[in-house]
Amino acid sequence: MHLIQQEFDELIHTLKKLPTLLAIGKTGGVTLPEDGFSDIDLFLFCKQIPAREVRELNYAILPRSIRVVEFGSEEHAHWGLVDSILIEEQEVYLMYFTRSNFDASIDAILLGERTEREENYFYPTGRLASIQGMYTFYDPDGYLANIKSHVSTYPDTLRDAILSRCLPKIDDEEDFLRAIRRNDVFFFHSTLDLALDRFLQTLFALNRTYFPSRKRSPEFIRGFAIKPEDCEARLERVVALGACPDTLEASYEVWQSLCNDLEHLSL
């Protein structure tokens, strides 16, 4: 890991030389992963994304142990333009964002215009959560610092939008009951998947916390002041009981109880 740290530092030093670059940030803090399974996401904010030939020239001066695996061709709304590289066997994703596009995306989320889960399980509020916890490697003009300040306070517009759109959808009684009558575990789980999404987003909004994704949700919930009693245990019970045709009805009873409690908390 020490060798990877040295090479990672060299990568950051080299990236700073890119033209039009405004800032470099890393999700998950400054520490590099040690489990061998987690990748590294580097956000590179630019006035304009450097052309491929410019990026290639920049990468060419990196140590041989840092290899470019794939070049991105266009800027994706969620992930930017992504160049994939390897430091030894560690995957690193260089995610280039145009400032104007990134700013517009953040503003739309804060205004409550994007409250639903999007393609590939991308949660717009997760982008705000990642910015809050982003470690800054380079920010000479304070661009990233301003963005972090912009999202530091959970806005009422976002909270109200999530409550109004997600809360009414946490209990799709018709589909739940249809799945129970059919003893259809798969249909039950597809219904629960959508309902659980809306439940968690509502719960996080009530606690003015940006919902990052389902990863580590129980850790967040344990620290929440506003939540149904025994919330984590009851959620786990819903999922466990929903795995067997004979216990689908029991699972739904627990779910309805949780939904009623959450609705009362939102009043």
Alpha carbon distance 31, 74 (integer Å): 29
CA distances from 7 to 17, 60, 163, 234 (A): 16, 14, 45, 46
Percent of the chain at pLDDT above 70? 98
Candidates 124, 197, 112, 118; CA nearest to 155 is 112
121: which DSSP letter?
G
Alpha carbon distance 110, 56 (integer Å): 35
Answer yes or no: is pLDDT of 129 > 80: yes
pTM of the model: 0.90
Alpha carbon distance 90, 122 (integer Å): 23
At how many degrees (to 10) do helices 99-110 and 143-150 cross? 10
Answer yes or no: is pLDDT of 193 > 90: yes
Determine the average pLDDT of the residues in 250-256: 98
What pLDDT shows up at residue 3? 64
Per-residue confidence at 37, pLDDT binned at 50, 70, 90? low
Dump pLDDT digits (tens) for 201-245. Answer: 999 999 999 999 888 888 999 999 999 999 999 999 999 999 999
What pLDDT shows up at residue 222? 94
